[in-house]
Each structure stands twice: as structure tokens, then as C-alpha cells.
Amino acid sequence: MKRVLLSALLAATALQASAGIVNGSFESGLTSWTTFGSTGVFDNPPTSGTTTDGFKSARVTALFGGANNAAGLEAFVGVSDAALRAIKSPAGYTPAFINGGAIQQTFTVGAGGDTLQFDWRFATNETTLANDFSFFVLDGIALALGDTGGTGTVFGSGVAGYTRATDWITRTVPLGAGSHTLSFAALQGANTNRESSLLVDKVRLQSDAAAPIPEPVSLGLVGLGLLAFGCNRRRKA
């Protein structure tokens, strides 16, 4: 019986060590995500255009007004101001970044690597180019998403309080084995009285779809169940 319990616990430990992204569709709000600045969720069915999986999506906002938190946001996601200017559209952006929001999660990829996928949509009320923009940061490397500068960003009709928005776009990134830190963020550029938001949904690893990984709490319950079963067997003996 001890060997059975030990094998079960080792298997649970292995699952936990290769734990993928938790709450990647944000159906539990922003649980399991660390947040900074202006963040929240859209809570609507997919037909509203604010989600792609379930009824909720994350929203990080380049917010007008309030204290300047750009430096804090850059420190939170682990990139420099110069690195963000290098991916900002159009090139040569000079005004100071002002306010924004970000969410972040660290996860582990098992041996053999995996593929990260997520859906994003950039929505804005901004009418002046070269202001707000959004990006994601993976292991300290910042990569651009939607941008009011227009280069590479195609807007259509608005959604849920925003006058313009891109379509939902799926991004795919290969990952090696090990620990990874992923952040999503939006920043207000030259100060205006209009805001923009990055919507994020269905953040997942390719392997998650085939074999969802239990959350740590579930693994703990499994372990307790096995221990109880073992005690019961000993009493019967």
C-alpha cells in the first residue's frame, strides 16, 4: 500500500511540476494572475465580441488620468522604457508613457517544450495617432500587439464602450521546457482624455487542450483521498 501511495504522490508532484496556465480563460476573474494598475474583466457571452471562450475575458487598460504609473508598470513586467519605445508604432515615439495596466502569471512547461497560444483584441476611443498601445512580455522580451499608431493594427467597428476595435487575433509562440513568465499590458502615451484596452482570452498551452492539468488545490485533495484510503485499508487489516 505504501508503494501505491508513494507512486500516486509522485505522479501528482510530476503533474504539479509541469503545471500549465491556470485560469487562462478568466472565468474566475483574474484569479491566479498578478495585477498592476488598471485591470479588470469583461463579463459577457462570446456573442458580445468581448470574449472568445466562456463568458469572461481579461481587460488591461491604458487609462487616462490618475497618477503616472508607467515606470511602475515597466518594472512590473520587467522591461525598460527604451525596450517599449523600440516596439511602439510608429517608430521614433518620443512622448512619455503615462498610465496603464498589466496582468502576469508564471507557469512551467514540461520536458519537450510546448506551444503558447492566446487570443487578443485591442479596443480604443482614441482619435489621435501614436498614443496608446498594447503588448505582451514573455520572459523579459516585449512584443507589440495593438497600437493606435495604426502601423500593423487594423481597426473595425467598436465593441462594449469603445469606438474602434481590431478583430480577435490568435498569437502562437513556441516554448522550451522550464519556467516562463507571461505578462499582458497596455499603456497610455501622450495624454488625452480617451482610453484604450487590450482584451485577452483563452490563454493556453497546446498540451492543455489534450490533457488539462489539475490545479494545486485539486492535487492536494487527491493526495488526501489516497491517504484516507490507505488509513481505511489499515483499519480493515
Q: What are phi and psi of 155, to 5 degrees?
A: -95, 145
Query: For residue 199, what pLDDT is reported?
Result: 97
What pTM, to 2 d.p., does this model score? 0.81
Give the whole-angstrom CA distance, residue 71 versus residue 68.
8
Laid out side by side, the sheet with 141-147 consists of 34-37, 100-109, 178-187, 133-138, 141-147
When comparing pLDDT for 172 and 234, which is higher? 172
pLDDT at 220 > cutoff 70: no
Half-sphere exposure of 113 (CA within 13 A, CB side): 5
Q: Are 133 and 91 in contact (CB under 8 A)?
A: no
Contacts of residue 212, Cβ cutoff 8 Å, sequence gap at least 6: none
